[in-house]
């Protein structure tokens, strides 16, 4: 594709669309859902899927020692590490609440520690947490354990402890290497720390080291992002998530701390993205879609190539499970037919756990229509195609096909009465194609609270 044609397409499809880690998306969910109904469905789905495929487990570890002003995650800023003990105690009690509701031990197929900064916790406390979880579970023989780490505080002891616990993948939040960008987003992180953390992980035996990068940050320029990506490529991470910065100061208070005049203009942000993609693909990284790039020997690319890629609240994953349990403050659970989100404040989360109640305050029960269109969105985002059911034809003709006409004209998809296939050109615009199947969006029943694609 000619560069000018690609740029024209990027401009055309640079619209607010979700990342589709869930469908229906979070703005559709309801507060104060019926917990008894949720528990009944949880037990039902667990019996269907636990023994057959295992479950995924996400544990949110919210603490950070300093505030990164760009960050939209649920976090608690503190330098007081005594909070680790109390929080882990609550995680253990929450897991015990689930165990009391389930007829047998969970089979853990996938476990991910996210944050916040999981490596805020000491190696000994991470070991305590994982031993508790695995001591009350069965670990699937083909499991994947992964963690998010901060290059500044991920020590060799962290990595050795995690490796011995079964972790083989680590994702480092790099974001940007430019000193001026780091200063304004309050994330001072010398490149040598990234290099050290990467080399130590590989020497210890981690098979996949991943980086998160962000474009559109304040003070970023074409020259600075070029330097950052060239330095990153030299370290050869196995996967790179190249995210668009979402400026939402009305929900992320830390973003109010810098001047919006420092943000690149929409056209400048587009150029940052295009330069990043150009450099990554020239270096041999494959664009999986939805902001993810992987080397050809990485399991994420192999899963994409063989049609085994899956997507959940942890993003793209190689493990295909129908259930994800989220533990910890603000965590989200996906039980296949319903979603549930934990309380967002530590105080409220602790109160629920101390009352021996599941800390879920918000969620959604999927209708049959939701399940069908969720399957279309998953198929497109993970495998690049969707096969239409006859019973969905009326809705597809009314809401979906009008939205697909432009992608069809632009050569992003092949389309007929039976389904669609995403072309190689269209892989770049997966989110836009998925959004055609978002009936809440097409019916205008939910406001686009998400960021633009670029």
Query: Within a 10 A sphere around the Cβ of 370, how many other Cβ atoms?
Result: 17
For the chain, the first-to-last Cα distance in angstroms comes to: 19
Q: What is the pLDDT of residue 76?
A: 93
Averaged over successive runs of 10 residues, the pLDDT of the chain (454 residues) comes to 79 87 93 94 97 96 92 90 97 98 96 96 98 97 96 97 98 96 93 98 97 94 97 97 77 64 87 94 92 93 90 85 96 96 97 97 96 96 95 96 96 95 91 96 69 61
Residues paired with residue 316 on neighbouring β-strands, in sequence order? 311
What the block records as the tokens of 446 is 């939910």
- Name the 3-class secondary structure at 44: helix
Residues in Cβ contact with 369 at an 8 Å cutoff, skipping those fewer than 6 apart: 395, 439
Nearest to 344 by CA among 91, 53, 60, 151: 60
Contact 154, 172 (CB under 8 A): yes
CA angle 256, 261, 263 (to 5 degrees): 80
Express each pLDDT in 132-182 by its tens digit: 999 999 999 999 999 999 999 999 999 999 999 999 999 999 999 999 999
What the block records as the tokens of 154 is 């991920």
Which domains are delineated in the chain? 3-327 (3.80.30.20), 367-444 (1.10.10.920)
Q: What is the pLDDT of residue 253?
A: 64
Query: Within a 10 A sphere around the Cβ of 248, how many other Cβ atoms?
Result: 12
What the block records as the tokens of 295 is 């080397």
Residues in Cβ contact with 454 at an 8 Å cutoff, skipping those fewer than 6 apart: 10, 14, 216, 244, 266, 269, 270, 273
Q: What is the pLDDT of residue 453?
A: 61
CA angle 166, 119, 315 (to 5 degrees): 70
Q: What is the pLDDT of residue 248?
A: 62
Query: Within a 10 A sphere around the Cβ of 166, how many other Cβ atoms?
Result: 14
Alpha carbon of 434 to those of 140, 290, 370, 420, 450: distances in Å?
Answer: 32, 11, 14, 11, 14
What's the rounded Cα separation, in Å, for the pair 361 and 351?
12
Q: What is the pLDDT of residue 250?
A: 54
Residues in Cβ contact with 10 at an 8 Å cutoff, skipping those fewer than 6 apart: 270, 273, 274, 428, 454
Residues paired with residue 363 on neighbouring β-strands, in sequence order? 30, 340
Whether residue 236 has a cis bond before it, omega within 30° of 0: no
Alpha carbon of 32 to those of 29, 41, 97, 387: distances in Å?
Answer: 10, 16, 19, 35
What's the rounded Cα separation, in Å, for the pair 124 and 121?
8
What the block records as the tokens of 291 is 């902001």
Strand boundaries in 353-447, DSSP class E: 360-365, 385-387, 413-416, 419-422
User: What is the sign, positive or negative, of the torsion defined by CA atoms of 319, 435, 341, 370?
Assistant: negative
Number of H helices, E strands in the chain: 16, 20
Q: What is the pLDDT of residue 267?
A: 86
What's the rounded Cα separation, in Å, for the pair 277 and 242?
9
Q: What is the pLDDT of residue 266?
A: 84
Query: Within a 10 A sphere around the Cβ of 416, how many other Cβ atoms?
Result: 8
pTM of the model: 0.94
Q: What is the pLDDT of residue 246?
A: 77
Q: What is the pLDDT of residue 3?
A: 73
Contact 147, 201 (CB under 8 A): no
What's the rounded Cα separation, in Å, for the pair 435 and 18?
8
What residues are designated binding site for [4Fe-4S] cluster? 64, 68, 71
What residues are designated binding site for S-adenosyl-L-methionine? 58, 70-72, 115-117, 148, 175, 187, 212, 246, 332
């Amino acid at each position: 594709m000619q560069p000018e044609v690609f740029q024209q397409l990027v401009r055309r499809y640079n619209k607010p669309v979700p990342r589709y880690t869930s469908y229906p998306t979070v703005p559709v969910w309801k507060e104060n859902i019926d917990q008894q109904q949720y528990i009944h469905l949880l037990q039902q789905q667990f019996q269907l899927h636990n023994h057959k495929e295992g479950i995924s487990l996400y544990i949110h570890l919210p603490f950070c020692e300093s505030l990164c002003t760009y960050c939209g995650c649920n976090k608690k800023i503190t330098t007081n590490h005594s909070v680790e003990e109390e929080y882990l105690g609550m995680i253990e009690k929450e897991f015990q609440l689930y165990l009391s509701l389930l007829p047998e031990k969970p089979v853990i197929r996938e476990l991910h520690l996210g944050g916040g900064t999981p490596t805020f916790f000491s190696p000994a406390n991470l070991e305590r947490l994982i031993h508790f979880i695995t001591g009350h579970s069965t670990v699937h023989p083909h499991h994947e354990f992964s963690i998010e780490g901060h290059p500044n505080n991920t020590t060799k002891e962290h990595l050795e402890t995690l490796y011995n616990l079964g972790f083989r993948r680590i994702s480092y939040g790099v974001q940007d290497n430019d000193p001026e960008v780091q200063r304004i987003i309050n994330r001072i992180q010398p490149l040598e720390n990234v290099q050290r953390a990467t080399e130590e992980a590989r020497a210890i035996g981690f098979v996949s080291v991943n980086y998160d990068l962000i474009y559109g940050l304040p003070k970023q320029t074409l020259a600075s992002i070029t330097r950052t990506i060239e330095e990153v490529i030299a370290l050869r991470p196995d996967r790179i998530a190249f995210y668009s910065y979402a400026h939402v100061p009305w929900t992320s208070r830390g973003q109010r701390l810098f001047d919006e005049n420092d943000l690149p203009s929409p056209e400048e942000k587009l150029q940052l993205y295009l330069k990043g993609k150009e450099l990554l693909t020239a270096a041999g990284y494959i664009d999986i879609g939805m902001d993810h790039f992987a080397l050809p020997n990485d399991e994420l690319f192999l899963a994409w190539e063989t049609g085994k890629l899956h997507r959940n609240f942890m993003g793209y994953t190689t493990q295909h499970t129908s259930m994800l349990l989220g533990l910890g403050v603000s965590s989200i659970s996906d039980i296949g037919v319903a979603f549930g989100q934990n309380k967002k404040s530590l105080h409220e989360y602790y109160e629920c756990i101390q009352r021996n109640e599941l800390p879920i305050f918000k969620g959604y029960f999927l209708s049959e229509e939701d399940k069908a269109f969720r399957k279309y969105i998953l198929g497109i985002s993970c495998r690049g195609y969707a096969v239409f059911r006859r019973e969905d034809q009326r809705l597809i003709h009314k809401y979906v096909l009008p939205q697909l006409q432009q992608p069809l004209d632009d050569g992003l998809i092949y389309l007929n009465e039976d389904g669609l296939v995403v072309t190689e050109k269209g892989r770049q615009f997966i989110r836009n194609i998925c959004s055609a199947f978002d009936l809440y969006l097409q019916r205008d029943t939910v406001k686009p609270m998400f960021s633009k694609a670029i």
